[in-house]
Amino acid sequence: MIIAEQKKKENIVEYIIYLRQIQDLLRSMNFDFAKIKNELVANYNTDYETKIRIENWYRNISKELTDKNFVAVGDIDEIKNTIALLEDLHQKLLKDPQEHKHKELYKWAEPNIAKFRTLSRSQHKSDVEVCIDAVYSLFLLKLQKKPISEETMQAMQTFINLLTYIARKYHGIE
């Protein structure tokens, strides 16, 4: 929760990816709250009230995932809503006649988005969600120490560049 709050302030895309990591971590623990409390919450070196807030944060994410039957796959509303917000921003930037840089980044990413959308059978997903899915997949491949082709890395870089620009716009940096 503490890391999530910081990431939300500093880099909204990293925030989404971090929340996805948390979801997967909770799934790997089978939403066993005793285990979550002992292995996650107990590791925070903070005061009692903050630990309670952290515990409640994990509990709320776990509850939402199980209540919505997202035990194996699926994102909490916080992720979905944030992605939708970023997609709206992306679409506005594409329509803005002053946004040459965004259009250029999108031009490089667009064929890779289309390819990843097809490969992942994600025809209904937005551009931003496809990019985030791709970057998260890259993260998982790296964790598993699987080989990643140069072509894949080049495609991923176009996603990262586009998402970085959107995140900077979101935070008012660009």
Instruction: Report H helices in 2-149.
Output: 2-10, 12-28, 33-39, 48-67, 77-95, 100-119, 127-143
> Could you read off the pLDDT of 96-141 as tens digits, one per residue?
999 999 999 999 999 999 999 999 888 899 999 999 999 999 999 9
CA–CA distance, 163 with 158 (Å, rounded to integer): 9
pTM: 0.92
The 10s digit of each residue's pLDDT in 144-157 is: 999 999 999 999 99
Q: pLDDT grade, residue 3 (50/70/90)?
A: confident
**Which of the pair, 162 or 173, is modelled with greater confidence?**
162
pLDDT at residue 174 is higher than 80: no
